[in-house]
Structure 1
Amino acid sequence: MKKMQNVTIKGTKEGIVLHLNDQCSYHALKAELKHKLLAHSSLEDEESPIIAVKIQLGNRYLTPEQEEEIKSLVRAQRNLVVDEIISNVITKEAAAKAKLENEIVSATVIVRSGQVLKVEGDLLLVGDVNPGGTVIANGNIFVMGNLRGIAHAGYNGRRDAVVVASNMVPSQIRIADCLNRAPDHYAKQDRHEMECAYIDSSNHIIIDRLQVLKHLRPNITRLRGGF
């Protein structure tokens, strides 16, 4: 009967992928990994280029100490560097953070001058953002009212985030690290058509009709029915 391999080494265009069995003991896994890395390293010479290594853990969870041990085994071999460790398992803290980032937070308020409303996920605001008021979300921002203040969507770097408003007359819009101050004609009139702001392919924030999101961001919201 053929013995099951706890470590499988596969070469790719980007480097090497180590697939680690998630059913065996950690001790057995570490021993086999060390043996196979030594065998692989013996085939390389000092002139060999640096090789990036991705480590696939499957459904195995490693403590920070175990993760560092695995990295050290790889780094101890000639020309190998750890590029990434990938696991299907996440900690409770990471799961809680992901839950927050994917929530739709609704609020029925008026954000007045000097006030800041900030959420980790998407923000659905039924109310106005007055001049001097600020709304911030790690996800998308939907304002069912007048947006006359500042809106910052995707504040942690989500460039696919959008800002939507029933009346889009902002003093400033930010999406991720992009910034757009509203043109003068926006400040001088009410625009009674729902509009959206998004980052286009040229890395600029564009304000357009809401309907364009059906094509640009088809999965923009988890609300039933979408837009």
Structure 2
Amino acid sequence: MTVKQHIIIKGVKDGLLFLLDDQCDFEAILNELKHKIEKTHQQLLTGPLIHITVKLGNRTISEEQSKQLTEIIRSQGNLIIHAIESDVPTVPKAHAELKVMTAIIRAGQEIEYHGDLLLLGDVHPGGLIRCTGDIYVLGSLRGVAYAGIHGREEAIIAASLLRPSHMKIADFLCPPLDQFENSDGVMEYAYIDNDQVSIQKLTLLHRENRLPVIMRGV
């Protein structure tokens, strides 16, 4: 009796396509993938660098499962993962991890949070806020703000008065704010655009197709 294959490998213009069965147990996928790479498909998978696109079908996987797939594929030294794609529509992430804090961050004080932070108060020069997600300051931001500190380039920094002494999103430093048009009295946000930090009015945030925290000026 023929054993059902959970992984189909097809050649495409830019490399190889791995089509994964979205109905079977994920552990079965891992076992078959390892068997194909190490045993049955050596001739196909050897040679020069090959770009691999993995199609998950109607399946979503966790970061840990994605890491497992990646490690097995990369064990064959010439295989490079181009993309891991799912047909399941992605839902924009709401601010489920939003923390609301009422405080004044003075010189020498530091706040660090995993998620998005809405601060009702001011950040004085010498104060520091560091977050893995977005930073919203319903007040003046004159201290230091680091958003997306684990590499999340989609993060933003917004404030009623955006005049930080130092600001960074992911690994991108913000240039001196005197390079930007002075718009005192208008809430602004900083974001990554074409590998650099840009400043824009908060009223235009909807153009980024985001789900921002609703804020009003003070």
User: What TM-score results when the alignment is normalised by the length of structure 1?
Assistant: 0.66
- The match for 2:19 is 19
Equivalences, count = 202
**In the alignment, is the contact (CA less than 8 A) between 1:60 and 1:87 conserved in 2?**
no
RMSD: 4.4
* Displacement after TM superposition at 1:190 (Å): 9.6
**In the alignment, is the contact (CA less than 8 A) between 1:10 and 1:18 conserved in 2?**
yes
| Aligned-partner Cα distance in 2 for 1:38–1:122 | 46
The structure-2 alpha-carbon separation of the partners of 1:18 and 1:169, relative to structure 1 and needing over 3 Å to count, comes to closer
Residues 24-103 of structure 1: pairs in structure 2 closer than 5 A: 30=31, 34=35, 40-42=41-43, 48-54=47-53, 58=59, 67=68, 71=72, 75=76, 81=79, 83=81, 103=97
Residues 88-127 of structure 1: pairs in structure 2 closer than 5 A: 103-127=97-121
| Aligned-partner Cα distance in 1 for 2:124–2:14 | 50
Q: Deviation per CA, 1:115-158: give whole Å up to 9, x if none.
A: 11111211110011011001111111110011110111111222
**In the alignment, is the contact (CA less than 8 A) between 1:71 and 1:82 conserved in 2?**
no
The structure-2 alpha-carbon separation of the partners of 1:51 and 1:200, relative to structure 1 and needing over 3 Å to count, comes to closer
| Aligned-partner Cα distance in 1 for 2:189–2:74 | 50
Match of residue 193, structure 1, among 171, 175, 186:
186
* Displacement after TM superposition at 1:18 (Å): 2.9
The structure-2 alpha-carbon separation of the partners of 1:154 and 1:72, relative to structure 1 and needing over 3 Å to count, comes to closer
Residue type of the alignment partner of 1:13: K
| Aligned-partner Cα distance in 2 for 1:213–1:20 | 38
For the pair shown, the structure with the greater C-alpha radius of gyration is: 1
| Aligned-partner Cα distance in 1 for 2:26–2:193 | 49
The structure-2 alpha-carbon separation of the partners of 1:86 and 1:127, relative to structure 1 and needing over 3 Å to count, comes to same
Q: Does 1:159 align with 2:150?
A: no
The structure-2 alpha-carbon separation of the partners of 1:102 and 1:51, relative to structure 1 and needing over 3 Å to count, comes to farther
| Aligned-partner Cα distance in 2 for 1:18–1:130 | 53
* Displacement after TM superposition at 1:204 (Å): 3.0
The structure-2 alpha-carbon separation of the partners of 1:220 and 1:158, relative to structure 1 and needing over 3 Å to count, comes to farther
Q: Choose between structure 1 and 2 for higher RCO, CA contacts under 8 A separated by at least 6 residues.
A: 2
Of 205-214 and 29-38, the range deviating more from structure 2: 29-38
**In the alignment, is the contact (CA less than 8 A) between 2:7 and 2:29 conserved in 1?**
no
Residues 142-157 of structure 1: pairs in structure 2 closer than 5 A: 142-157=136-151
**Which runs of 5 or more structure 2 residues have no equivalent in the other structure?**
87-92
* Displacement after TM superposition at 1:166 (Å): 0.8
* Displacement after TM superposition at 1:82 (Å): 5.7
- The match for 1:131 is 125
Match of residue 206, structure 1, among 179, 183, 198:
198
SS of 2:168's equivalent in the other structure is strand
**In the alignment, is the contact (CA less than 8 A) between 1:59 and 1:87 conserved in 2?**
no
Of 152-161 and 115-124, the range deviating more from structure 2: 152-161
SS of 1:213's equivalent in the other structure is helix
- The match for 2:178 is 183
| Aligned-partner Cα distance in 2 for 1:190–1:60 | 44
The structure-2 alpha-carbon separation of the partners of 1:135 and 1:20, relative to structure 1 and needing over 3 Å to count, comes to same
The structure-2 alpha-carbon separation of the partners of 1:29 and 1:224, relative to structure 1 and needing over 3 Å to count, comes to same
Of 142-151 and 171-180, the range deviating more from structure 2: 171-180
Of 150-159 and 107-116, the range deviating more from structure 2: 150-159
- The match for 1:6 is 6
- The match for 2:89 is none
* Displacement after TM superposition at 1:38 (Å): 5.3
